[in-house]
Amino acid sequence: MVAMDEFHPSNRILMGPGPSDVHPRVLKAMATPLIGHLDPEFLRIMDDIKAMAQATFQTKNDLTFVVSAPGSAGMETVLVNLLEPGDHALICIHGVFGGRMKDIAERCGAEVSTVEAPWGEPINPDDVKAAVATHRPKVVAIVHAETSTGVLQPLEEISDIVHDAGALLVVDAVTSYCGTDLKVDDWGIDAVYSGTQKCLSAPPGLSPVSFSARAVEALDNRKTKVQSWFLDLTMVKNYWAGAKRAYHHTGPISAMYALREAYRLVLEEGLENRFKRHHDTHLLLKDGLEALGFTYLVDPSYRLPMLNAVKLPAGLDDASTRSRLLNEFNIEVGGGLGKFAGKLWRVGLMGESCDANHVNMLLSALKTITN
C-alpha cells in the first residue's frame, strides 16, 4: 500500500461563489473533542443552533433546524416533504438553481409548470400571478439570490400573490442568508433553506431550514410517505425537538461545533451591520472592477452584493487569467455557468471574505496581470 504524505493545502483567498473564508474561531471550534450525538451537552448545542437559526432567519417558526448535509440537501428536504405525487408545483427559473428545483419537484412526482426570466433578470411578479391563476399550485418555489447570475429577487409582492392563491412559498436563500435582508416571517415565506459555506462562513456540509405553521400542516396532512427516508421531517423533527430526542442519524458533531461558533460571530456583529458590510464592500469592488473594464451583468436594482456577476473586458481570457489568480496570487474567483461560461466571472464577497482587504488584493493582482 502506498503511504500518503500529510496534506498541506495552499492558503487560498476564497472569492468565488462559495465556500468563503472561515474565521479562526470557527476553525478552532472544529477541533473541539467529540461527544456523542445524543449527549445532553450536544443536545444543548443543537438548541443553541436552533435559536440562532431562528434569529438569523428572522422567524419564530418552531420547525427551524439544520439538515445534516449541504444546501442542495436543504433544497431537496423542502421539496420532498411538501410535494406528493400529483401535487402541482410552480417553479420560477432565472438561473441554474431554479432549474435544479424543477428537477427535484419532477422526481417527487409533482406536476410542474414554470415561470422563467432571462438569466441576469428577476422573475416578473405579473408572470407569477398569471401562472398561479392558471395552475393553482400547491407550492411556488423561487430563488432569492441566484448564484449563477448575481440576481437578488424581490419577494414580498410575489409572496402576496402566492398566499392569495392559497399556495405555499418556498425560497432558496443559499447565497443571500446572513449577507442581505431575509425576513422569513414578515415576508410570509413558508419554507426556506440555505447553506453554511457562503455568507455564514462555516464549512460546507450543513443546510439551515425553516418551515412555517402552514408548511408543517401540509407535512402533517400528507397521504403518502416522504420520498426520502433520510430527509423525512416526520422523523427528523423528533431529533431536533421535544422533551425526549429520538435517534434518527448521527449528527455531524464537529460541523455543528463550527456552525454554532459561526452563528455567534454573526450575532455579535449584528444582522444590520453585517448586511451593511456586504453592501459597502460590494460598492468598493464595483468601482475597482469597472475601472479595469469589467461590466456588471445585472441592473443595479436587482444586483447581489455578495455575488458579483461581471462580464470580462475585451481581450481578457477567462481560463488563463483565473489560473494565474489562483496559482500566482492564491485568489479564487468563479467562472460563468451555461451560456456565460468563458464570458463571465462570479466574484464572491461572502462572510469572512467580505472586506476591503480581499477587494484590494484582487484588484492589485488583476492590475499586475493586465499591465
- Listed by start position, the domains of the chain span 13-18+271-370, 24-267
DSSP symbols for 17-68: SSPPP--HHHHHHHTSPP--TTSHHHHHHHHHHHHHHHHHHT---SEEEEES
pLDDT of residue 69: 96
Mean pLDDT of 101-105: 97
Note the pLDDT tens digit of each residue in 114-142.
999 999 999 999 999 999 999 999 999 99
Query: 334 to each of 184, 293, 326, 352, how far by Cα in Å?
Result: 29, 18, 11, 17
- Gyration radius (Cα) of the chain, Å: 21
pLDDT of residue 82: 98
Fold of the domain built from segment(s) 13-18+271-370? Aspartate Aminotransferase, domain 1 (3.90.1150)
pLDDT at 169 over 80: yes
pLDDT interval class at 280 (50, 70, 90): very high
Cα angle at 167 between 166 and 168, to 5 degrees? 130
Q: DSSP code of 86?
A: T
Q: What is the 3-state secondary structure (H, E, C) of 28-42?
A: HHHCCCCCCCCCHHH
Mean pLDDT of 156-172: 98
pTM of the predicted protein model: 0.96
Note the pLDDT tens digit of each residue in 352-364.
999 999 999 999 9
Residues 6+ positions from 315 with CB-CB distance below 8 Å: none
Mean pLDDT of 265-280: 98
Give yes or no for a contact between 174 and 71, defined as CB atoms under 8 angstroms apart: yes
Q: Which of 82, 103, 81 shows the shortest CA–CA distance to 91? A: 103
270, with CB counted inside 10 A (0-12, 13-18, 19+), is exposed
User: What distance in Å separates the CA atoms of residue 304 and residue 278, rounded to the nearest whole number?
Assistant: 9
Mean pLDDT of 72-88: 97
pLDDT at 243 over 80: no
Give yes or no for a contact between 233 and 226, defined as CB atoms under 8 angstroms apart: yes
pLDDT of residue 1: 72
pLDDT interval class at 88 (50, 70, 90): very high
pLDDT of residue 246: 87
User: Can you give the length of the chain in residues?
Assistant: 371
Give yes or no for a contact between 147 and 117, defined as CB atoms under 8 angstroms apart: no
Note the pLDDT tens digit of each residue in 284-321.
999 999 999 999 999 999 999 999 999 999 999 999 99
Mean pLDDT of 89-105: 96
Give yes or no for a contact between 18 and 198, defined as CB atoms under 8 angstroms apart: yes
Mean pLDDT of 172-198: 98
pLDDT at 231 over 80: yes
Residues 6+ positions from 185 with CB-CB distance below 8 Å: 58, 59, 60, 61
Which cell goes with 170?
Answer: 418556498
Give yes or no for a contact between 134 and 88, defined as CB atoms under 8 angstroms apart: no
Mean pLDDT of the chain: 96
Find the helix or strand (DSSP H, E) in which 237 lies.
helix 233-240
The yes/no answer on whether domain 24-267 falls in CATH 3.40.640.10 is yes
pLDDT interval class at 338 (50, 70, 90): confident
Phi, psi (degrees; rounded to nearest 5) at 135: -100, -20
Which cell goes with 180?
Answer: 442581505
Place of cell 450543513: 206
pLDDT interval class at 200 (50, 70, 90): very high
Q: Which of 284, 289, 331 shows the shortest CA–CA distance to 312? A: 289
